[in-house]
Chain A
Amino acid sequence: MALFEAIHLHKRFGDQVVLEDISLTFEAGQLSGIMGPNGAGKSTCFNVLTGHYKPNAGKVMFEGKDITGLPPRVIAGMGIARSFQLMNLFDEFTVIENILVALPESVAKSFNIGHDIMGNSSATDRAADVLAKVGLTGRELELAGNLPYGERRALEIGVALASEPRLLFLDEPTQGLGADGTARLEELIGELKKTYSIVIIEHDMKFLFGLADTISVIHWGQVIAQGSPDQLRDNEWVRASKIGDAA
């Protein structure tokens, strides 16, 4: 059984077809990539997969359960975490507080977080573990708003990891990062993929070709190509392009 499956998804906004018969499968332990040009329907697809939009037709399955149309918080509670294209951090909180509030026990208590949980040493230990995973050890007490952009991106991934997800969705993680930042992020995700099942939506093809086990190419709201990076490169035009060079 696949970890996550999208089956014949259709999504329209009014008269406009945005997703036309999209089927995707993400396997446990793999890094699956979704790429496509601007306006291809990537973000809509992502929002349907994570419950932010309801499809007009088709099904979304996670660990064999039908999760189509469930609200995002229910889907998140089932073990799917996502990051957003635009960052989603508490800038006035410290780095470690951002992680602490995302730990499952803080989410369960919802109010009265912060000071209370800072005194909980098992929680702070686990938050420190998460920060180590995303390379932010030593930055615990920095305000999130003061971090450089690349570290904010890493912290955002840390926030997603704090919920102990069984599947992690990342929406355009290289957005706004320069070449250095992208290289560091590639290294970080390369580490994380050893322990997590990950889905990444990206338009940076080189980045995705370097990391993914399988890639689905979306254009015109449809899956126009699917396969491993090597299978996708097996084409004269692709070999001649910049992703061909990366081979």
Chain B
Amino acid sequence: MTTPTQAPMLEVKGLKKIYQRGFIKRQETFRLEADFTIDKPQVVGVMGPNGSGKTTMFELITGSNQPTAGEVLCAGQNIHNVKYRQRDRLAIHYHQSYQVRHFSKTKPSFLMENPVSDYPMIHLFDEPQFNTQDGYIGFMLEFFKKLRAEGRLVFLCVHPNEPFHTKIMREACDQYIFVQKGSVSRAGTYDELLEVDGVRDYLGALAAY
């Protein structure tokens, strides 16, 4: 198995995605900007209001959405230069239970690179369905730890609307990303996250948990 080393797990460099509308008079409708590096295998909690750009960020990291500017390096390799079909060997995106696979294809695959890894280095779990009744939460949280122990990077995006959601985020994650209006803030602990501008408003009454 090829296991890339040395390079950070994930480098998001000067990444921009700008959506515009109108043909003659171009008008910007949405802009996401991100610039961060994650060196080590970790579980990264992601939160943010609907429409803030979380899913766009995930799509840019997995290479399913083409950035306007900047690059995403997974284990040192620019995922946007990798053959479409093999990008999931670097980063894989699950929304709820299902893998997300929609590519905006800009050039033929034979002109592109093979991935440096043969298993997904980065796992993005976008709003997994948590239900306290069925016990799966316990299995999922143990699985995230297992992936981390195997040297992988895990993103866990949760949209908290119950106290147990914030409990999961507090307990399961090593660091946090908060996405709001297309900009990305980071926090090293859950308590630091609560101090990030906008987080308490976003969580509302759940900020107390």
Q: Which residues of A contact B (CB under 8 A)?
A: 15-18, 20-21, 37-40, 205, 217, 219-222, 224-225, 232, 235-238, 240-244
A225 CA / B120 CA spacing, docked (Å): 18
A225's closest neighbor in chain B, by CB? B139
CB distance from B131 to the nearest CB of A (A): 8
A37 CA / B94 CA spacing, docked (Å): 14
Query: Would you call A224 and B143 a contact (CB within 8 A)?
Result: yes
CB distance from B155 to the nearest CB of A (A): 13
Q: Cβ of B137: which chain A residues have Cβ within 8 Å of it? A: 237, 241
Assess whether B85 is interfacial by the CB under 8 Å rule.
yes
CB distance from A62 to the nearest CB of B (A): 26
Q: Which of B34-42, B46-54, B96-104, B198-206 contacts A (4 or more CB under 8 A)?
A: B96-104
Q: Cβ of B139: which chain A residues have Cβ within 8 Å of it? A: 217, 219, 224-225, 232, 235, 238
A18 CA / B133 CA spacing, docked (Å): 26
Query: Would you call A17 and B97 a contact (CB within 8 A)?
Result: no
Our pick among A21, A40, A225, A236 for the contact of B97 (Cβ within 8 Å) is A40
Q: Cβ of A205: which chain B residues have Cβ within 8 Å of it? A: 134-135
A21 CA / B92 CA spacing, docked (Å): 13
Q: Cβ of B135: which chain A residues have Cβ within 8 Å of it? A: 205, 235, 237-238, 241-244
A18 CA / B119 CA spacing, docked (Å): 14
Q: Which residues of B contact A (CB under 8 A)?
A: 84-85, 88, 92, 94, 97-99, 101, 103, 119-120, 125, 129, 132-143, 146
Q: Cβ of A221: which chain B residues have Cβ within 8 Å of it? A: 99
Indicate whether A237 sits within 8 Å of B141 (C-beta atoms), given known contacts A15-B101, A39-B97, A220-B94: yes
Q: Cβ of A17: which chain B residues have Cβ within 8 Å of it? A: 88, 92, 99
Q: DSSP class of A's interface residues: helix, strand, loop or mixed?
A: mixed
CB distance from B58 to the nearest CB of A (A): 14
Query: Would you call B88 and A37 a contact (CB within 8 A)?
Result: no
Q: Cβ of B136: which chain A residues have Cβ within 8 Å of it? A: 37, 217, 219
A226's closest neighbor in chain B, by CB? B139
Our pick among A20, A40, A232 for the contact of B92 (Cβ within 8 Å) is A20
Q: Cβ of A39: which chain B residues have Cβ within 8 Å of it? A: 97-98
A237 CA / B139 CA spacing, docked (Å): 8
In this complex, the member of B84, B125, B135 whose beta carbon has the largest number of chain A beta carbons within 10 angstroms is B135
A241 CA / B85 CA spacing, docked (Å): 39
A133 CA / B134 CA spacing, docked (Å): 32
Our pick among A16, A219, A236 for the contact of B140 (Cβ within 8 Å) is A219
A38 CA / B98 CA spacing, docked (Å): 10
A16 CA / B135 CA spacing, docked (Å): 27
Q: Cβ of A16: which chain B residues have Cβ within 8 Å of it? A: 99, 101
CB distance from A201 to the nearest CB of B (A): 16
Q: Which 8 A-B pairs have the closest CB atoms?
A: A237-B138, A241-B135, A235-B138, A224-B143, A238-B138, A225-B139, A39-B97, A238-B135
Query: Would you call A241 and B143 a contact (CB within 8 A)?
Result: no
Q: Cβ of B141: which chain A residues have Cβ within 8 Å of it? A: 237
Q: Cβ of B134: which chain A residues have Cβ within 8 Å of it? A: 37, 205, 241-243
Indicate whether A21 sits within 8 Å of B119 (C-beta atoms), given known contacts A39-B98, A205-B135, A220-B94: yes
Q: Cβ of A18: which chain B residues have Cβ within 8 Å of it? A: 99
CB distance from B124 to the nearest CB of A (A): 11
